[in-house]
């Protein structure tokens, strides 16, 4: 469904990455993989891994606090907290409620949003609806994931993901600035191309699920690649048409970080020079819901965003879920 949202903008960004670095070279000692293959195919050299005592809410709370400070607000001024995650602390309660308690934002309504790697993009669109309708003034959207907890470190596909969180505060804007358009899609026919089979209501955790390692993710890398390179260019072209923005006007594409080849193909198909595509997978790998807000925070804190700049966001995740958005930085 097409959604045109006006009068909402990003007023602050934040991020948090755990300290521990796990390099490709180290993974070479665990599984049959190699640094050259990983870097050439995925653009990754290393990733961060959360400490034993750090859960998704800890990463999310630190990123959220940074974003609130960057927005010049206090936690009490936040009306709604949305945490996009597919590695929640627990099945209940929501990670958003746990984050609320950690940052002491007790005036906020809190809920989680499940759209895997598209979670932050979906979360920003939900935030914009609340702000645009006047229901809430300041919405904190957090993307926080700890995929190290659902990774089988004895299998070679342990190379893809890293842990991390990013956040943004979304608030009201003048008519001609802020979010110009969103396009979101879901296609449940792709539902099991990335999945964690056990631990939910279909297959509760048991000795058997543990023995069979069914609480780790399973991914069809080829299907992700083929789908991403098909749908990302299409949805980007649609959202540019919706917002009457040309490719030439884009200052930066701040995309999800599924792998360097997917991003290079996407840029080539839409006619965007790759120099305008922001990446950080070299150091952080794919942090799932954390990718876009971590990257946005990096770009913002480097002072690279000026009023009036046109920024494009795009993501694809399990589900399938995918979409894109255009913002005029305010």
- Closest CB 243 distance from ligand COA, rounded Å: 25
User: d(Cα 112, Cα 88) in Å, to the nearest integer?
Assistant: 9
User: d(Cα 60, Cα 15) in Å, to the nearest integer?
Assistant: 8
Residue 251, SS3 per DSSP: strand
Is the distance from CB of 171 to CB of 9 less than 8 angstroms? Answer: yes
Is beta strand 163-172 parallel, antiparallel or unpaired with respect to 139-146? antiparallel
- Closest CB 272 distance from ligand COA, rounded Å: 19
Residue 84 or residue 170: which is nearer to ligand COA going by CB? 84
User: d(Cα 61, Cα 18) in Å, to the nearest integer?
Assistant: 12
- Closest CB 256 distance from ligand COA, rounded Å: 7
Q: Is 143 in the site for ligand COA (CB under 6 A)?
A: no
Give the pair of three-digit tokens for residue 46: 């290393």
Task: Single out the residue of 122, 130, 136, 160 in contact with ligand COA (rule: CB under 6 A).
Answer: 160
Task: Single out the residue of 224, 296, 310, 312 in contact with ligand COA (rule: CB under 6 A).
Answer: 224
User: d(Cα 89, Cα 74) in Å, to the nearest integer?
Assistant: 25
- Closest CB 315 distance from ligand COA, rounded Å: 9
Contacts of 74 (CB under 8 A, 6+ apart): 68
Known catalytic residue: 286? yes
Known catalytic residue: 117? yes
Count of chain residues binding ligand COA (CB under 6 A): 21
Where in 29-58 is the site for ligand COA (CB under 6 A)? 33-34, 37-38, 41
Where in 178-207 is the site for ligand COA (CB under 6 A)? 194
Q: In this structure, is the dihedral angle defined by the CA atoms of residues 56, 59, 63 and 66, taken in order, positive or negative?
A: positive
Q: Is 265 in the site for ligand COA (CB under 6 A)?
A: no
Known catalytic residue: 138? no
Is the distance from CB of 5 to CB of 181 less than 8 angstroms? Answer: yes
Where in 4-33 is the site for ligand COA (CB under 6 A)? 33
Q: What residue ranges bind ligand COA (CB under 6 A)? A: 33-34, 37-38, 41, 117, 156-157, 159-160, 194, 219, 221-222, 224-225, 258-259, 261-262, 286
């Amino acid at each position: 469904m097409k959604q045109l949202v006006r009068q909402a903008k990003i007023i602050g960004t934040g991020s948090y990455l755990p300290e521990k670095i796990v390099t490709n070279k180290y993974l070479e000692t665990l599984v049959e993989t190699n640094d050259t293959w990983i870097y050439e195919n995925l653009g990754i050299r290393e990733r961060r891994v959360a400490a034993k005592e750090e859960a998704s809410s800890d990463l999310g709370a630190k990123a959220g606090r940074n974003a609130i400070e960057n927005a010049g607000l206090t936690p009490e001024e936040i009306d709604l907290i949305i945490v996009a995650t597919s590695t929640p602390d627990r099945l209940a309660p929501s990670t958003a409620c746990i984050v609320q308690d950690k940052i002491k934002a007790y005036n906020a309504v809190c809920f989680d949003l499940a759209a895997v790697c598209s979670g932050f993009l979906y979360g920003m669109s939900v935030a914009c609806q609340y702000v645009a309708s006047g229901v809430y003034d300041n919405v904190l959207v957090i993307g926080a994931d700890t995929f190290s907890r659902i990774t089988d470190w004895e299998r070679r596909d342990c190379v893809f993901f890293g842990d991390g969180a990013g956040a943004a505060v979304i608030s009201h804007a003048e008519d001609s600035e802020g979010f110009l358009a969103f396009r979101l899609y879901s296609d449940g026919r792709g539902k099991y191309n990335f999945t964690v089979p056990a631990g939910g209501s279909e297959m509760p955790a048991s000795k058997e699920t543990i023995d069979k390692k069914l609480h780790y993710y399973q991914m069809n890398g080829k299907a992700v690649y083929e789908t991403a390179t098909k749908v990302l260019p299409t949805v980007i072209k649609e959202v540019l048409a919706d917002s009457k923005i040309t490719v030439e006007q884009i200052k930066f594409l701040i995309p999800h970080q599924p792998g360097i080849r997917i991003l290079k193909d996407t840029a080539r198909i839409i006619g965007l020079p790759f120099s305008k595509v922001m990446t950080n997978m070299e150091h952080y790998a794919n942090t799932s819901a954390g990718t876009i807000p971590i990257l946005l925070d990096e770009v913002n804190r480097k002072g690279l965003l000026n009023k009036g700049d046109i920024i494009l966001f795009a993501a694809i995740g399990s589900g399938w879920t995918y979409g894109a958005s255009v913002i005029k930085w305010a």
